Amino acid sequence: ASTWANVPAGPPDPILGVTEKFKADKSPKKINLGVGAYRDGQGKPYVLPTVKKAEKILSDAMQDKEYLPITGLAEFTKLAAELAYGKDSKPIVEKRLAITQSISGTGALRIGTAFLARHYPGAKTIYLPTPTWGNHIPISKDSGLEVKQYKYFNKDTVGLDFEGMKADIKAAPEGSIILLHACAHNPTGIDPTEAQWKELSDLVKEKKHFAFFDMAYQGFASGDILKDAFAVRYFVEQGHQILLCQSFAKNMGLYGERAGAISFVCESAEEKARVDSQLKILIRPLYSNPPVHGARLVSTILSSPELTEEWLIEVKGMADRIIEMRERLYNKLVELKTPGEWGHIKSQIGMFSFTGLKAEQVDALAEKASIYLTRDGRISMAGLNANNVDYFAESVSKAVK
247 binds ligand PLP (CB under 6 A): yes
Question: Which part of the chain contacts ligand PLP (CB under 6 A), choosing from 91-99, 115-123, 219-227, 247-255?
Answer: 247-255
- 224-243 burial string, b = 16+ CB within 10 Å, else e? ebeebbbbbeebbeeebebb
Torsion of CA 156, 161, 167, 173, to 10 degrees: 110
Is 202 a known active-site residue?
A: no
297 binds ligand PLP (CB under 6 A): no
Distances 84 to 62, 77, 222, 224, 349 between C-alpha atoms, Å: 29, 11, 15, 12, 19
223 binds ligand PLP (CB under 6 A): no
By CB under 6 A, the count of residues binding ligand PLP is 13
- List, in order, residues 6 or more apart from 84 with CB less than 8 Å away: 215, 218, 229, 232, 244, 246, 263
133 binds ligand PLP (CB under 6 A): yes
Query: Residue 171 CB, nearest distance to ligand PLP (Å)?
Result: 24
Query: Residue 269 CB, nearest distance to ligand PLP (Å)?
Result: 29
Query: Binding residue for ligand PLP (CB under 6 A) from 214, 228, 257, 314?
Result: 214
Query: Binding residue for ligand PLP (CB under 6 A) from 34, 36, 253, 290?
Result: 36
Which amino acid, one-letter code, is at 22?
Answer: F
Q: How many CA atoms lie within 13 A of 246 on its CB side?
A: 32
210 binds ligand PLP (CB under 6 A): no
Q: Which of 78, 133, 148, 311 is catalytic?
A: 133
Question: Which part of the chain contacts ligand PLP (CB under 6 A), choosing from 6-14, 104-112, 369-377, 391-399?
Answer: 104-112
249 binds ligand PLP (CB under 6 A): yes
Report the relative pairing of strands 159-160 and 153-154 from DSSP bridges: antiparallel
For the range 269-276, what are the long-range contacts, defined as Cβ-Cβ under 8 Å and sequence gap of 24 or more? 269/94, 269/95, 269/96, 271/96, 272/95, 272/96, 272/97, 272/98, 275/98, 276/71, 276/98, 276/100
219 binds ligand PLP (CB under 6 A): no
Q: Which of 250, 272, 311, 342 is catalytic?
A: 250
Among positions 260-289, residues that touch ligand PLP (CB under 6 A) are 260
Q: Which of 161, 191, 214, 228 is catalytic?
A: 214
Closer to ligand PLP by CB, 218 or 247: give it. Answer: 247
Query: Binding residue for ligand PLP (CB under 6 A) from 105, 192, 294, 383?
Result: 105
Is 228 a known active-site residue?
A: no
Is 133 a known active-site residue?
A: yes
102 binds ligand PLP (CB under 6 A): no
Query: Residue 2 CB, nearest distance to ligand PLP (Å)?
Result: 33
For ligand PLP, the nearest residue by Cβ is 105
Report the relative pairing of strands 259-265 and 243-247 from DSSP bridges: antiparallel
Question: Which part of the chain contacts ligand PLP (CB under 6 A), choosing from 99-107, 116-124, 310-318, 334-342?
Answer: 99-107
Question: Would you say 184 and 217 are in contact if contact means Cβ atoms under 8 Å apart?
Answer: yes
176 binds ligand PLP (CB under 6 A): no
Query: Binding residue for ligand PLP (CB under 6 A) from 106, 338, 348, 380?
Result: 106
- Catalytic positions are 133, 214, 250
- What does the binding site for ligand PLP look like in residue numbers (CB under 6 A)? 36, 104-106, 133, 181, 186, 214, 216, 247, 249, 255, 260
